[in-house]
A and B are shown apart, each in its own frame.
Chain A
Amino acid sequence: MSTEEESAVKEPLDLIRLSLDERIYVKLRSDRELRGKLHAYDQHLNMILGDVEEIVTTVEIDDETYEEIVRTTRRTIPFLFVRGDGVILVSPPLRTA
């Protein structure tokens, strides 16, 4: 009973394993973010997320004033496969959420 090798955190993917069935935050390419429950993942960082909120951030530049207008677009998707090549980072959700 002294060994807990099954849950040992040996490599970076093990840190993601600790978040299985928990809500996580995922930063993707193209200024997208996801928050959802992690159901599954693999070594490519392909993921299955449940009850997902996607946030897309766009910056418009006003033609006259040149000010930057930051907009966010949100949507929810009940059950989503995410291809790993778009993933930048995975984390427990940020406290401001």
Chain B
Amino acid sequence: MDLVGREVTVELKNDLAIRGTLHSVDQYLNIKLENTRVVDQDKYPHMLSVRNCFIRGSVVRYVQLPSRRGGH
């Protein structure tokens, strides 16, 4: 049931949504994602060249997880 290695979409409190592969999580629920793409790239062109990122846990609103069927 480990979600490391699965595709997730992290939605931040500033409405930015980042899709990527979950690399790791820590005790603060800070998240490291790999192979990231911003969900609405035309609206949020800030991170077009970012492929790996560290997200501070406190700025997360939601994490959309793969459903049990294995992916989304």
Interface residues of A, Cβ cutoff 8 Å to B: 30, 46, 48, 50, 77-83, 85-86
User: Which of chain A's residues have a CB closer than 8 A to the CB of B67?
Assistant: 50, 78-79
The verdict on B51 contacting chain A, using a C-beta distance below 8 Å, is no
Main secondary structure of the interface of A (DSSP, over half): strand
The verdict on B29 contacting chain A, using a C-beta distance below 8 Å, is yes
A78 with B72, Cβ < 8 A, contacts A83-B29, A86-B61 known: yes
The verdict on B68 contacting chain A, using a C-beta distance below 8 Å, is yes
B2 smallest CB distance to A (angstroms): 14
Query: Are A81's CB and B72's CB within 8 A?
Result: no
User: Which of chain B's residues have a CB closer than 8 A to the CB of A79?
Assistant: 64-68, 72
Q: What are 6 A-B pairs with beta-carbon distances under 8 A?
A: A46-B29, A77-B62, A78-B72, A80-B62, A80-B64, A83-B62
**Which 7 A-B pairs rank lowest in CB-CB distance, beginning with the nearest?**
A81-B63, A78-B67, A79-B65, A79-B67, A83-B60, A77-B64, A80-B62
CB-CB nearest in chain B for A48 = B65
* Most B C-beta atoms less than 10 A away, residue of A46, A48, A81, A82: A81
User: Which of chain A's residues have a CB closer than 8 A to the CB of B58?
Assistant: 85
Contact with A along B39-72 (1 / 0, CB 8 A): 0000000000000000001101111111110001
